[in-house]
Structure 1
Amino acid sequence: MVNKHRPLNPATYVPAKLVRVQGERLRAEAADAYTQLAKAAKAAGVNIMPISGYRSYSQQASLYDSYVRQYGQSTADTIAARPGYSEHQTGLAMDIGNASGICALQACFATTPAGKWAAENCWKYGFIIRYPAGAEATTGYTYEPWHLRYVGGQDLANAVKSKGTLEAYFGLEAAPDYLP
C-alpha cells in the first residue's frame, strides 16, 4: 500500500523480479495478469496498449520534477507521485491507453473503448482503477481512468472496487496531501 501518507521503505525500493510485458516492466504476477487482461480485451475487439509500468526512483523523480517545473508543485502533487511514493515503483501499476493514442493520460480516456472495457473488466484480472472519479479527497490524485493497480485475485479486486479505493478497503485515513 503506497500513498501520500505511506511511502515506500526504502524510498529507492526496487521489486525483486520484474518482467517485460509489451515493452513495459511489471512484477511477474502483475505481468501475467496484465497479459491475460490485454488478451481478453483483444478478444472483445478492444486494443489496450501499455503506456507506463515500473518506474525507478530516479525515473519518478525526473517525471515529478518536470511536472513541478511545468505546473508548479501544488498541481504536480495531484497528477504525479513524488519519488518514493509512486505505485509505479512497486511494479504493480500499469498506465494503459488505446492504439489510436486518443485521450492518452487524460480523463476522456474513460470514454474510449479501451477505457470503458478496462473500467468494466479490469477487476476480473486482479486490477483496479486506482484513482477513481470522485475520490480525489481520499487519494490526493486527479481521476486517472488509465492507471491500473494490480491487487491480486479477482475476488480481492472486486472487493476493493466495491469499496471505491484501496484506502477505504483497508480502512485507512484519506491521504489527500503529503505529511510534513
Structure 2
Amino acid sequence: MKYVTYLKYLGVASAVLYLSACGGNEEEQTESENDVQEESSGEENQNSGDAESTDDAEASEEAPLVTEEDIYNEESILALANKSNFLGEEYVPADMIPVNVPVVFDNPETNQLREPAANALMDLFAEAESEGYTLYARSGYRSYNTQVGLYNNYVANHGQEEADRFSAQPGSSEHQTGLAMDVTSESVNLELSEAFGETDEGTWVRENAHRFGFIIRYPDGYEDITGYMYEPWHLRYLGEEVASDVYESGLTYEEYIKESGIEINEE
C-alpha cells in the first residue's frame, strides 16, 4: 500500500512538473502576457515622449530671436528706431555709462551708451587694438533735443530731402536709444566717411563687430530699405546672439525683423 501511494504521489508531482514546463496555468500565462504588453506600452510611451521632446527642441530652435514686443519696446536692446518707428520725445535710457575708449570729442552726452552696449564697445575696441587697429568713438547717445538741433541744421544747409538721407528726424534716431555709436579712425582723419569702410580698421569692424553684439546698421546698397545712405561707421548694439544672426543672414535689421514674421510700420 505504501508503494502504490508513492506511485500516486509521483504521478501528481509529474503532472505538476509537466504543467510548469508547459508555461503554467492560464492565469499565470495571462499575467505574463500583460507584463509584456505593459513593457511594450511603456517603451512606446517613452519613444513618444522622446519624439515630443525632439519636436519641442526643434520648435525652440526655430523660435525667432526677435519678437514684436521687443521691437516696439523703447527699453529693449532690440528696439526698432527708424523713419516709421519713433521713440518718445521724453525717452532717456536709464542705464547709460561713459564709454572708456578713445573718443574724438570731449562731450559727456555723446560719450556714453547704455551699459551693455558700452561694455561691449570697450571689448570691441580692446580686441581691435590687440590686432593692431586703433578705433575712436565719435558720437554715441544723443538726446531728442540734441537731434532737433542737428537735424534742423542739416536741413538748413542741405535741404530736407538730402538731409533725410543721412540725418534722422527727432525721435527716429538710433542714437537716442543709447545703443548706437559712430566709430572712426585716423586713416580717415577721425571723420565719418564712406571711405572708412575700405580702410583696414573699417574692414575689421565690418567682419568682427557682430562678435561683440554690434551690426553695421546701414550697409551699402540698402538705402531703399533702411532709409539711409551707406554708413560703415554706424554700429548698432543688438546683443551677441541677434547681431551674429543678423550678420550671418546678410539682411538689414528691417529685413531680419520681417523674416522673423513680424509686420513693421513702413513709410
TM-score, scaled relative to structure 1: 0.91
Tell which deviates more after alignment, 130-139 or 95-104.
95-104
Structure 2 contact 113–178 (Cα < 8 Å) conserved = yes
Matched, 1:32 2:103: no
Matched, 1:53 2:140: yes
Structure 2 contact 136–190 (Cα < 8 Å) conserved = no
Q: What's the counterpart of residue 3 of structure 1?
A: 82
Structure 1 contact 139–174 (Cα < 8 Å) conserved = no
Deviation for aligned residue 1:13 = 1.0
Deviation for aligned residue 1:116 = 0.8
1:85-164 correspondence runs (5 A): 85-102=172-189, 104-153=191-240, 155-161=241-247, 162-164=249-251
Deviation for aligned residue 1:100 = 4.5
Structure 1 SS opposite 2:164: helix
Structure 1 contact 128–157 (Cα < 8 Å) conserved = yes
Distance 1:163 1:42 in 2: 26
Q: What's the counterpart of residue 169 of structure 1?
A: 256
Structure 2 contact 125–134 (Cα < 8 Å) conserved = yes
Structure 1 SS opposite 2:119: helix
Structure 2 SS opposite 1:84: coil
Tell which deviates more after alignment, 165-174 or 104-113.
165-174
Structure 2 SS opposite 1:114: helix
Structure 2 SS opposite 1:158: helix
Deviations 1:16-70 (A, max 9, x none): 0110013510000000000000000000100010000000111111111111011
Q: What's the counterpart of residue 14 of structure 1?
A: 92
Aligned-partner residue type, residue 16 of structure 1:
A
Distance 2:230 2:187 in 1: 21
Deviation for aligned residue 1:159 = 1.3
Aligned-partner residue type, residue 246 of structure 2:
V
Distance 1:12 1:86 in 2: 13
Deviation for aligned residue 1:173 = 5.2
- Residues 174 and 115 of structure 1: is their aligned pair in 2 closer, same or farther, counting only changes over 3 Å? farther
In terms of Rg, which structure is larger?
Answer: 2
Distance 2:81 2:232 in 1: 18
Deviation for aligned residue 1:105 = 1.1
Percent of aligned pairs with the same residue? 45
Aligned-partner residue type, residue 81 of structure 2:
V
Aligned-partner residue type, residue 98 of structure 2:
R
Structure 1 contact 110–145 (Cα < 8 Å) conserved = yes
Q: Which runs of 5+ in 1 are unaligned?
A: none
Distance 2:197 2:265 in 1: 24
Q: Cα RMSD (Å) of the superposition?
A: 1.5
Q: What's the counterpart of residue 167 of structure 2?
A: 80
Structure 1 contact 52–96 (Cα < 8 Å) conserved = yes
Q: By percentage of residues, which structure has more helix? A: 2
Distance 1:146 1:158 in 2: 18
Structure 1 contact 131–139 (Cα < 8 Å) conserved = yes
Aligned-partner residue type, residue 97 of structure 1:
T
- Residues 63 and 39 of structure 1: is their aligned pair in 2 closer, same or farther, counting only changes over 3 Å? same
